[in-house]
Structure 1
Amino acid sequence: MLVKICKGYELEKEKPNTSEDFFNRSEVVYIENGEEKTLHVLYVRFFDEQFSDFTPYKENPIFQIGSKGITFKDIVALVCLIRNPEFRNRKRIYINTIEELTSYFQGIDFEKLPEIFHALEEKQGYELQSPLEYNVQSK
C-alpha cells in the first residue's frame, strides 16, 4: 500500500443549526492494487485535548518534518488504518468515544510515525509494507 497523503482539519459550521464545529476529520489517501482510496475518520474535537493521555505526545504540533508541524489530527486516520487493516474496505469511520480512539493507539510504535511523514514530504509517498511493522508487539 502506498500512502500518499495524511492530513487532518477542524470542521466548520456550514449552517447555523449544525454541529460540525464539534468535530475533526482526519484523512489518509493511499493506493492499493492500483486504486486510489481515502479513509475519512470523523471524531469529537474534544479528544484532541486528551491525546497526551494515550500517546507520548504532549502538545501540538506533535512533531516537525522540515518546517511543517504535524498535528495529532494528521495522524489519526493513518493510525486507524494501521491498527485495523479491515478499514481498507471502508471510506468513513466515526469515533465517538475516547475509549475507541485510545484502542487504536495502543501498541503503535510512535517512533516510526515521523519516518512516514518524512517520506510523504520528501518523496510524496510512503510504501507501507505491513501494518505489523508499526506495532510495538512485533519488535
Structure 2
Amino acid sequence: MIIKKISGYELEKELPNTSEDFFNRSLVTYERDGEEETFHLLYVRFFEENMKETTPFEKNPLFTIGEREYLLADIVALVALLKDEETKNRKRIYINEENEFKKLFNNINIDYIKEIATSLQQSGSYKIN
C-alpha cells in the first residue's frame, strides 16, 4: 500500500436544521493493488475538543513539518488505517463512541506518523510494507 495524501477538516452546516458542524472528517488517499482509494473517517468533534482525554496529544497542531502544521483531523484516518487491517476493506467509518476513538490511539507511534507525513511532503508518497 502506498499512502498518497492525508488531510482532515471540520464539517460546516449546509442547512440550518442539520448537525454537520458537530463533526470532523479525516481522509487518507492511498494506492493498493494499482487502484487509488480514499478512506473517510467521520468522528464527533467533541473528541478533538477534549484531546487530552481522548488522545495522547495535548493540543493542535500536533506537529509541524516544514511549513505545514498537522492537526488531529489530518491523522485520525491514517491512524485507523494503520491500526486495523480490516479498515483497508472499508471506504467510510463513523466513530461516535469515545472509547472507540480512544482505542485508535492506544500504543500509537507518533514518530512513525511523522515519518509518513515527512515522506508525503518530500516525495508525495509513502510505501507501507
TM-score over 0.5 for the alignment?
Answer: yes
1:53 Cα deviation after fit? 2.9
CA contact under 8 A between 2:22 and 2:46: conserved in structure 1?
yes
> Is 1:23 matched up with 2:16?
no
- Tell me which residue corresponds to 2:63: 63
Gaps in structure 2 of 5+ consecutive residues: none
Could you tell me how far apart the structure 2 residues matched to 1:23 and 1:5 are? 21
Aligned residue runs from structure 1 range 82-97, under 5 A? 82-97=82-97
Name segments (4+ residues, structure 1) moved above 6 Å. Answer: none
TM-score by length of 2: 0.96
| Residue identity opposite 1:65 in structure 2 | I
Could you tell me how far apart the structure 2 residues matched to 1:4 and 1:75 are? 13
| Residue identity opposite 2:13 in structure 1 | K
1:54 Cα deviation after fit? 4.6
TM-score by length of 1: 0.89
Could you tell me how far apart the structure 2 residues matched to 1:50 and 1:39 are? 24
CA contact under 8 A between 1:54 and 1:106: conserved in structure 2?
no
Could you tell me how far apart the structure 2 residues matched to 1:67 and 1:52 are? 25
- Tell me which residue corresponds to 2:11: 11
1:51 Cα deviation after fit? 2.4
- Tell me which residue corresponds to 1:134: none
- Tell me which residue corresponds to 1:44: 44
Aligned residue runs from structure 1 range 57-136, under 5 A? 57-129=57-129
Could you tell me how far apart the structure 1 residues matched to 2:127 and 2:47 are? 29
Secondary structure at the aligned position of 1:48 is classed as helix
RMSD: 1.0
Secondary structure at the aligned position of 1:78 is classed as helix
1:60 Cα deviation after fit? 0.6
Gaps in structure 1 of 5+ consecutive residues: 130-139
Could you tell me how far apart the structure 1 residues matched to 2:8 and 2:28 are? 9
